[in-house]
């Protein structure tokens, strides 16, 4: 299929491009930008007048819920949701049932995903067997099966010696470890940020210390072992400051935050809405503002949805008993745009955080519109306004803290590998 995307505002952070022009897609590749290639015959034309044309989004954390949690969501529903969110490549964490801790499971997932429309799926392998934090997985075999990195996801890592060994082993092969810094004992039993709001509501707290103590350990082990570390879902001002300082000292670490944490804080917990029960917890306004600033100054490298669809039953309980997590892959773009508007950040820089930068962290070729690269594109209406409702979301998980919130920015087309995988009537 030859696609002619006419007259859009083409934004490509990697190539520092932001201009009104045309994009030509041939045989699944970006054939040209601007000038129509000789002999190009469009089989499909997209009028992108008034729309933004950018690299397909790259989401570093999307739970597809397979295998094991098909009652919460299926590969079909969540890949469709990702495509509806403009996502063309996604990393899925291994906290499935069973966890992605052996090559057969990873191959099966990749096989299932390949036969469905929707984004490219990049599994992140379990760092330890069954995610129990005791025995290492076959990281090399898992890499051959398609894993891009290794992680404990949200499973606790209580044994520092195992963490050290995992780093040493990963560093042997140059594999990347994605770690969410949280000291398991300091966080034990907690369901909300340990601060004035949790105190007032009588919710058991997870102190900011749980993040910074774990970070200190991880950073020190990383310095010692030379392991490639990506820090997932930072949530505290102090934690961000530590990562900023480590980067300034030359340590090659990257980090991300989840898009809900850019907008919400502990203050939103008043009223006990279990949709605000997230991991890590929503922290203070001070922390939220630090996240917003660190995204601007580049201390935080990427934004992700941390998409966690759950069925409504596990949210229809008192806050502390509810299963944490929020569905969000369809909100990644509008929440990123909102941050950019709030902060006065140019669109190019905002899109960088959800395309080119995460593609580099994931180590994949996507996230840019270079000539000859795969035609993964997100075409969106920057000003379209809509309200988040269960009906409008494709995900099987309606569990979002942004229910009934107005959003600005709506995906119109998602092109993956030169195919239009999602198209919205507009």
* Site membership for another protein, residue 220 (CB under 8 A): no
Beta strands in 250-321, from DSSP E residues, in sequence order: 253-258, 302-304
* Site membership for another protein, residue 312 (CB under 8 A): no
Residue numbers 258-287 binding another protein by CB under 8 A? 271-272
Q: Which residue has the tokens 């020190």?
A: 220
User: Of 47 and 97, which CB lies nearer to another protein in the complex structure?
Assistant: 97
Neighbours of 336 (CB within 10 A): 23
Out of 313, 342, 363, 390, the residue judged to bind another protein by CB under 8 A: 313
Out of 134, 199, 267, 383, the residue judged to bind another protein by CB under 8 A: 199
User: Of 67 and 320, which CB lies nearer to another protein in the complex structure?
Assistant: 320
Beta strands in 232-294, from DSSP E residues, in sequence order: 253-258
* Site membership for another protein, residue 97 (CB under 8 A): no
User: Of 164 and 201, which CB lies nearer to another protein in the complex structure?
Assistant: 201
User: Among residues 5, 88, 86, which one has the least CA distance to residue 44?
Assistant: 5
Q: CA 270, CA 268: separation in Å to the nearest integer? A: 6
Q: What residues have CB less than 8 Å from 227, skipping those under 6 apart?
A: 166, 167, 168, 170, 171, 177, 221
374: DSSP letter: B
Helix (H) or strand (E) holding 46: strand 44-47
Piece of 49-57, 227-235, 319-327, 344-352 that binds another protein (CB under 8 A): 319-327
Piece of 56-64, 164-172, 196-204, 340-348 that binds another protein (CB under 8 A): 196-204
User: Of 326 and 337, which CB lies nearer to another protein in the complex structure?
Assistant: 326
Q: CA 263, CA 410: separation in Å to the nearest integer? A: 18
List phi, psi (to 5°) of 61.
-155, 100
* Tokens linked to 226: 């030379």
Out of 202, 372, 425, 426, the residue judged to bind another protein by CB under 8 A: 202
Out of 96, 128, 254, 322, the residue judged to bind another protein by CB under 8 A: 322
User: Of 19 and 312, which CB lies nearer to another protein in the complex structure?
Assistant: 312
Does the annotation mark 306 as catalytic? yes
Q: What residues have CB less than 8 Å from 271, skipping those under 6 apart?
A: none
Yes or no: say if 326 and 63 are a contact pair by the CB < 8 Å rule: no
* Site membership for another protein, residue 89 (CB under 8 A): no
Pick the catalytic residue from 12, 59, 306, 421: 306
* Site membership for another protein, residue 339 (CB under 8 A): no
Piece of 65-73, 157-165, 317-325, 368-376 that binds another protein (CB under 8 A): 317-325
User: Among residues 393, 403, 262, 271, which one has the least CA distance to residue 339?
Assistant: 262
Peptide bond into 66 cis (omega under 30): no
Out of 195, 334, 397, 401, the residue judged to bind another protein by CB under 8 A: 195
Piece of 45-53, 87-95, 320-328, 362-370 that binds another protein (CB under 8 A): 320-328
* Site membership for another protein, residue 403 (CB under 8 A): no
Which residues of the chain form contacts with another protein (CB under 8 A)? Answer: 194-196, 198-205, 207, 271-272, 313-314, 316-322
Catalytic positions are 306
């Amino acid at each position: 299929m030859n696609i002619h995307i006419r007259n859009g505002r083409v934004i490509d952070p990697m190539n520092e491009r932001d201009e009104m022009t045309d994009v030509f897609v041939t045989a699944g590749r970006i054939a040209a930008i601007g000038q129509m290639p000789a002999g190009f015959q469009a089989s499909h034309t997209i009028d992108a007048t008034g729309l933004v044309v950018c690299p397909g989004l790259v989401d570093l954390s999307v739970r597809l819920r397979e295998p094991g949690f098909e009652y919460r969501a299926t590969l079909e529903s969540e890949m469709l949701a990702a495509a509806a969110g403009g996502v063309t490549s996604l990393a899925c964490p291994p906290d499935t049932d069973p966890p992605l801790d052996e090559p057969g499971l990873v191959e099966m997932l990749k096989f299932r995903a390949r036969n469905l429309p929707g984004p490219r799926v990049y599994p992140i392998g379990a760092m330890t067997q069954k995610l129990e934090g005791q025995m290492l997985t076959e990281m090399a075999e898992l890499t051959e099966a398609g894993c891009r990195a290794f992680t404990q996801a949200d499973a606790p890592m209580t044994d520092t010696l195992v963490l050290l060994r995992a780093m040493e082993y990963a560093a042997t092969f140059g594999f990347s470890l994605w770690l969410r810094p949280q000291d398991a004992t300091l966080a034990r039993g907690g369901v909300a940020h340990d601060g004035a709001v949790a105190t007032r509501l009588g919710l058991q707290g997870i102190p900011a210390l749980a993040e910074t103590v774990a970070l200190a350990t991880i950073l020190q082990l990383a310095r010692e072992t030379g392991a490639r570390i990506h820090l997932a879902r930072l949530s505290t001002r102090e934690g961000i400051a530590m990562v900023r300082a480590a980067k300034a000292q030359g340590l090659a670490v990257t980090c991300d935050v989840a898009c809900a944490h850019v907008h919400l804080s502990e203050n939103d917990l008043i009223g006990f809405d279990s949709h605000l029960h997230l991991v890590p917890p929503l922290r203070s306004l001070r922390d939220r503002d630090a996240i917003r600033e660190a995204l601007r100054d580049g201390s935080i490298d990427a934004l992700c949805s941390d998409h966690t669809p759950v069925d409504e039953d596990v949210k229809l309980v008192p806050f502390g008993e509810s299963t944490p997590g929020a569905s969000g892959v369809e909100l990644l773009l509008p929440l990123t745009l909102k941050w950019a508007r709030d902060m006065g950040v140019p669109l190019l820089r905002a899109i960088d955080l959800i395309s080119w930068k995460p593609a580099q962290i994931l180590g994949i070729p996507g996230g840019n519109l270079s000539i000859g690269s795969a035609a993964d594109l997100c075409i969106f209406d920057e000003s379209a306004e809509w309200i988040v409702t269960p009906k409008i979301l494709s995900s099987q998980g309606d569990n979002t803290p942004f229910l009934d919130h107005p959003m600005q920015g709506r995906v119109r087309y998602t092109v993956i590998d030169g195919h239009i995988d999602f198209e919205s009537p507009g």
